[in-house]
Amino acid sequence: MNKIIVAAGVFVFILISCYAAIPLIFMGPPVPLFTVHNHDTTGHEVVVEVFDSNNESIIKETYVLDPKDDISRSRPVGLKLPWSGGGYTFKVTMDGKVTETSRMEIPDVYTMVNIRLYSKDYVSGETVLIYMVSVEKA
C-alpha cells in the first residue's frame, strides 16, 4: 500500500514538473515583470508598487534612473509559474510628486509591463509623464 502511495506521489510530481518545464523548453525563460524607461534628459526617482488581484502589495521598490536609463525587475518566484497570469495593479510614483495607477493584464510569463517616463504620445505629439502598457515577448 505504501509503495502505491509513493509511486502516485512521484507520478504527480513528474506531471507537475513537466507542465512547468515544457513552456520553458519551447518559449525560453520568462521575461521581466516590468521595465522602467526614462526618456527624459534628467534623472528621476521612481517608486513602483505592484498589487495582486486581492489588492495586496507584492512588490514595492524604489529606483533612481539617470537620463535615458532603463531598469528591469525580474519576476518573483511565484510569478514565474505558467499558471501565474492575471490582473495586477501598478502604482508608479515619480519624484514623489506624480503618481499613475493602472490595472494591467499579464496573462502569462511572456508578457511584461513597460513603464515609460516622459514618453511622447505618437498620436497627439504631447509628452506623457508616466505611461504604462503591457507587451508580449516577440
Report the share of the chain in percent with pLDDT over 70: 86
Question: Residue 67 pLDDT > 80, yes or no?
Answer: yes
Q: Residue 100's domain is classified under what CATH number?
A: 2.60.40
| Separation of alpha carbons 101 and 117, rounded Å | 14
Residues 16 and 70 in one domain: no
State the total domains in the chain. 2
Main-chain dihedrals φ then ψ at residue 8, nearest 5 degrees: -65, -40
The contacts of residue 35 (CB under 8 Å, 6+ apart) are: 70, 71, 72, 73, 112, 113, 114, 115
Question: Residue 130 pLDDT > 80, yes or no?
Answer: yes
pTM for the structure as a whole: 0.76
Map residue 33 onto helix, strand or coil: coil
Residues 35 and 25 in one domain: no
> Is the separation of the CB atoms in 48 and 57 below 8 Å?
no
**96-124 mean pLDDT:** 90
Residues 35-57: pLDDT tens digits?
Answer: 999 999 999 999 999 999 899 99
Residues spanned by the domain of 25: 1-29
What average pLDDT is seen over the chain?
85
Residues 104 and 58 in one domain: yes
pLDDT for the residue 104: 93
Instruction: Tell me the pLDDT band of 124, cut-offs 50, 70 and 90.
Output: confident
